[in-house]
Chain A
Amino acid sequence: NAGVTQTPKFQVLKTGQSMTLQCAQDMNHEYMSWYRQDPGMGLRLIHYSVGAGITDQGEVPNGYNVSRSTTEDFPLRLLSAAPSQTSVYFCASSYDDRGQPQHFGDGTRLSIL
């Protein structure tokens, strides 16, 4: 049981490049979320999904796109990378709406030059 798997673990991009951060879970969780973590800022929600085919914006969605074609996968796309998107990105999933805690992946450390 792998839990939540994020790839890549590290990435360096140039300004203007695009890329996709992958997130997969094998726990059959309906809820999945993407957060970014910046020093002194805690975690901020980018986008989330309550099930396949359903996504919604979080607190800081600008510059990011998501899709949820399957229950297992929830990729995050950076459309045109900017230095302000340098951060650590965490994907998380949870089972239901009865207060189950979110399970977090190991994170992707992204630097935009």
Chain B
Amino acid sequence: ELKVEQNPLFLSMQEGKNYTIYCNYSTTSDRLYWYRQDPGKSLESLFVLLSNGAVKQEGRLMASLDTKARLSTLHITAAVHDLSATYFCAVDGTQGGSEKLVFGKGTKLTVNP
């Protein structure tokens, strides 16, 4: 059974600082997704990582995937208040599609002025 663990679950940081969110998963998969959720809102896709060593960057966020270590990281550079949200990683449990995702519990990020 695929299990996905994120840490930390809560992260409070100051503007301008850097930090990394970790996503570990328990069984082989080469498809990993990062989503963002604002309070009371839906989920927005941030990154799709499809192979070992994949790295994607958008603005102050950079995601990477190490399939051998079963680990993905979401790195935040020079945080700003607008990045405050909950971030989820999700892993494809089917080895072939994105319809059966297993989500981590999410990391609630608060960026303070």
Binding site for A on B (CB under 8 A): 31, 33, 35, 41-45, 48, 50, 88, 90, 92, 96-106
Contacts and interface: CB of A to CB of B under 8 A. Distances in A.
5 contacts: A31-B98, A35-B103, A42-B105, A101-B33, A106-B41
Interface of A: 31-33, 35, 40-45, 48-50, 58-59, 90, 92, 94, 96-97, 99-107
Nearest to A48: B99
A31 B97 contact: yes
Contact of B42 (A40, A45, A104): A104
A33 B105 contact: no
Given A90-B42, A99-B50, A103-B45, A48 B96 contact: no
Given A43-B88, A99-B50, A104 B100 contact: no
A59 to B, nearest CB: 8
A45 B102 contact: yes
